[in-house]
Amino acid sequence: MSAPIGAIVAGGGAVRFGGAPKGLQRVGGIRIIDRVAAALSAVTSELVVVSNAPDANQWIAGVRAFGDVRPERGSLVGIHTALSCARGDVLVVAWDMPFVSTELLALICGRRGAAAAVIPESPSGHEPFCALYTTACLPIIEAALDAGDLRLSRVLARLPSIETISMSEIGAIGDPATLLFNVNTPDDLARAEAIAGGN
């Protein structure tokens, strides 16, 4: 089975972050997007960035950026764009997750089998923006978008099968709350900096 495409999804208006580009902030001296790219590069065949930002092609040298292929707004559109542009299975990671590790992503890829998607559990439930989606998901996502139903949780419930990676499994390689941590606010960025510094 060939390696999936790695898609770094930079979506949303970052309202809680004052509109600043979250993934371009630094944690431990390294941009979050670069941390995500390094983890993804080890387990994927190619990297792409999904973003509507006009300068997205310049964020990571040699990595192509794709704008949303649908006009709707919402997190589901980012996954749809990743699948549409990859033309194959895609490992999606949000650009604001500074502690995603190669080990976690390898665990997700290693569970790819007959399931339509492989999604890890975080303390708040399924984490759809650190997950593997197969091409079987694309028509279901498109049908939901056509129907105007942008709720990601509803789409996940319609997938024919999901392979869930439990927090106890993730715990064997690290703290799930840290590995799946995302930076949504300035306070989150300060917390990430403290984690990176070992505090």
Least trusted range by pLDDT, from 44-48, 67-71, 114-118, 185-189: 67-71
Q: Is the pLDDT of residue 1 over 70?
A: no
Orientation of helix 32-41 relative to helix 102-110, angle to 10° = 40
For helices 75-86 and 137-146, the axis angle rounded to 10 degrees is 140
CA atoms lying within 13 Å on the CB side of residue 105:
28
pLDDT of residue 144: 93
The two tokens of residue 127 are 């984490």
pLDDT at 71: 77
Residue 13 has pLDDT above 80, yes or no: no
Structural domains in the chain, CATH included, are 5-196 (3.90.550.10)
Q: Of all residues in the chain, what percent carry a pLDDT higher than 90? A: 73
Query: Quick one: pLDDT at residue 18?
Result: 61
Tens digit of pLDDT for each residue in 141-194?
999 999 988 888 899 999 989 999 999 999 999 999 999 999 988 999 999 999
Torsion of CA 171, 153, 37, 179, to 10 degrees: -20
Instruction: Confirm if 175 and 181 have CB atoms less than 8 A apart.
Output: no
d(CA 147, CA 164): 27
- The whole-number pLDDT of residue 69 equals 84
Mean pLDDT score of the chain: 91
pLDDT at position 62: 93
Max Cα distance, the chain (Å): 47
What is the b/e burial string over 71-93, where b = at least 16 CB atoms within 10 angstroms of the residue's CB? Answer: eeebbbbbbbbbbbbbeebbbbb
**Residue 14 confidence (pLDDT) above 70:** no
